[in-house]
Amino acid sequence: AAEEGFDQEEVEGALGEAGHGPLPVLAVVGRPNVGKSTLVNRIIGRREAVVEDRPGVTRDRVTYEAEWAGRRFKVVDTGGWEQDVLGIDASVAAQAEFAVEAADAVVFVVDAVVGATDTDEAVVKLLRRAGKPVVLCANKVDGPSGEADAAYLWSLGLGEPHPVSALHGRGTGDMLDEVLKALPEAPRETFGGVALGGPRRVALIGRPNVGKSSLLNKVAGEERVVVNELAGTTRDPVDELIELGGKTWKLVDTAGIRRRVHLTEGADYYASLRTAAALEKAEVAVVLIDVSESISVQDLRIITMAVESGRAVVLAYNKWDTLDEERRFYLEREIERDLVQVQWAPRVNVSARTGRHVEKLVPAIETALAGWETRVPTGKLNAFLGEIVASHPHPVRGGKQPRVLFGTQAGTKPPRFVLFASGFLEAGYRRFVERRLREEFGFEGTPLQISVRVRE
C-alpha cells in the first residue's frame, strides 16, 4: 500500500540505475591536438565541446561514463591537458602512462593527416610495455580520400588503423565495435571476482609525504608474497599482493607510490590523477594523514575523492610517533572541525616508521568492507523508515508536508538507497535520515548514497 503512486517500472528503473558494479575502463591517449577530446565527446555522446575547456593541470574530472551497443564502460579523457607544463614529450608520456595504468583497454589516437611522429612512436613503446589491448584510431579522416593516410599507420605496428573522423563521427561506430572486443566482458576481477576468492583491493592514498611509501614498505617488507595465478585475478605489474593479518590483500597501483616522480609544476595534478586511478581499481581506500602537520585542503580533497568514488574508507593517522601533547590537542580539534563528514570512517593511529599499530589496519579495513557490503532487507528498512517518519516528520513547507513513503536498498558497495517521497525532501532532512540509518544499521567505513524519487 505504501507503494501507491509508483508503478513497478519506475521502481525497477530506479533500482537498475543504481544497481551496477564497477565498469571496465577505456583510456583515450595520444599527443596534443590529435583530437582526443573531440573523440571522447563523440564517444560519450555529448553536445558541448570539452575541446574548448582547458583549465589545465588542476582539472580533477577525467572519467566519463559511456555506452555503446548496450554495454557500458568508463572513458578516461586525457585531452584538454595543459601541454607545456613539462615539455610536450614528458607530459604526453606521463599522461598516457597514468591513464593506461588504470585502463582495461586503450584507444591510441594519431592524427592521420600529420602521420606518425616521434612522439607517437614514444607512446607506442609505452603502450607495448603496458601490455593492455590497444585500438589504433587514425583520426581526422574526414572523407574517403583520407583513408590512404590512415593506412600508413600500419607502420606503428599496432595492427589495423581505424580511420575515424572524431569531428564528424565518420568511422567511430566501427572503431567502438573494436573497442568493445578489447574491453573485458565483465569488469576486470569483477566484484564477483571477490566471491571467487580474489584478494580484496586496497588503495593507499594521501598527499605527497604523508608516508605512503614508508607504510607500503613496512607492510610489504619481508612479508611480501609473490602469488602467480590466483583464481579469477589477472596479474597487474602495478599492483602488489601482500600478506597481512593472515590474508592476502591486493594493494593497487603501488607503482604510483614507488615511482619517485620529480615534478615541480603539475605535481599536484599528477598526484591527484594517481589517486583517481588507484580509487578506480580499489574497493577500500586507506587515506593517510600526516599528524605532524595541520590537516590541509589537499588532505580534505583526497578524502572527498575517496568518498565520492564510493569506496569504503579507513583513515590512517600516520607519524603518530611525532605527536606531543600540544600537537595532539590541536589535532583532535582539527579532526572535529574538518572531518565531520567522514566521522563514520574507522580510524587507526599508526607510525610507518616504528610500525606502531600497523596491524590494526586489517581489522579497520575489514570493518569498512563489511559496512560497504551491508544490505538491509526491504521489510526492515521500511519498518525503520515508518518509525522515523512518525517520530520526526519532515517540517511543513509552504503548507505542505513531504513524507517518505517507502524505500529500498538498490545496491551495495557502497550501499545505495532509493527513497520514494510525496514531495521534495530538504537537505537537512536527508542528512537526518542518513544519520539515523547509520545509527540503526552501522555502515561503519562506507559512504551511503541516498537518492529520492518524488511522486508528482
Give binding residues as ranges: 30-37, 77-81, 139-142, 206-213, 253-257, 318-321
**Of these, 15, 18, 44, 51, which contacts ligand GDP (CB under 6 A)?**
51
Decide if residue 32 touches ligand GDP (CB under 6 A): yes
Which of 63, 91, 165, 367 is the binder for ligand GDP (CB under 6 A)?
165
**How many other C-beta atoms are found inside a 10 Å radius of the C-beta of residue 283?**
24
Please tell me whether residue 298 binds ligand GDP under the rule CB under 6 A: no
- Considering only 24, 79, 266, 371, the residue that binds ligand GDP (CB under 6 A) is 79
Nearer residue to ligand GDP within complex by CB, 37 or 374: 37
Q: Which residue is nearest to ligand GDP (CB)?
A: 79
* C-alpha cell at position 19: 544497481
The nearest distance, CB 213 to ligand GDP, in angstroms, is 3
Q: Rounded to whole angstroms, how far apart are CA atoms 139 and 152?
A: 12
Q: Which stretch binds ligand GDP (CB under 6 A): 210-218, 329-337, 392-400, 404-412?
A: 210-218
Q: Between residues 269 and 417, which has the closer beta carbon with respect to ligand GDP?
A: 269
Neighbours of 414 (CB within 10 A): 21
Least Å distance, CB 429 to ligand GDP, is: 40
Strand partners, 249: 200, 242
Closest contact distance (angstroms) between CB of 215 and ligand GDP is: 7
The residue among 311, 365, 104, 54 whose CA lies nearest residue 302 is 311
Q: Which of 311, 319, 394, 413 binds ligand GDP (CB under 6 A)?
A: 319
Q: Does position 167 bind ligand GDP by CB under 6 A?
A: yes
Cell of 352: 610507518
Nearest-Å Rg of the Cα atoms of the chain is 24
57 binds ligand GDP (CB under 6 A): no
Tell me the binding residues for GTP: 30-37, 77-81, 139-142, 206-213, 253-257, 318-321
Q: In this structure, what C-alpha cell is assigned to residue 151?
A: 593506412
Interface region with ligand GDP, contact rule CB under 6 A, candidates 120-128, 212-220, 278-286, 327-335: 212-220
Q: Between residues 59 and 71, which has the closer beta carbon with respect to ligand GDP?
A: 59
In angstroms, give the least distance from the CB of 150 to ligand GDP.
11
Question: Amino acid identity of 178?
Answer: E
State yes or no: residue 353 binds ligand GDP (CB under 6 A): yes
Min dist. Cβ of residue 81 to ligand GDP (A) = 8
Assess 175 for contact with ligand GDP (CB under 6 A): no
Q: Is residue 123 involved in binding ligand GDP (CB under 6 A)?
A: no
| Shortest separation between residue 271's beta carbon and ligand GDP, angstroms | 9
Q: Which is nearer to ligand GDP, 224 or 247 (CB)?
A: 224
User: Residue 107's beta-bridge partner residues?
Assistant: 28, 135
As measured in angstroms, the least distance from the Cβ of 205 to ligand GDP is: 9
Which residue in the block uniquely carries the three cell numbers 537526518? Answer: 432
25 or 316, CB closer to ligand GDP?
316
Fill in the per-residue mask, 246 to 285: x = in contact with ligand GDP (CB under 6 A), - = not in contact.
Answer: -----------x----------------------------
The number of residues that bind ligand GDP (CB under 6 A) is 33
| CB nearer to ligand GDP: pick between 165 and 367 | 165
**Which chain residues interact with ligand GDP by CB under 6 A?**
30, 32-38, 51, 79-80, 139-140, 142, 165-167, 206, 208-214, 257, 318-319, 321-322, 351-353
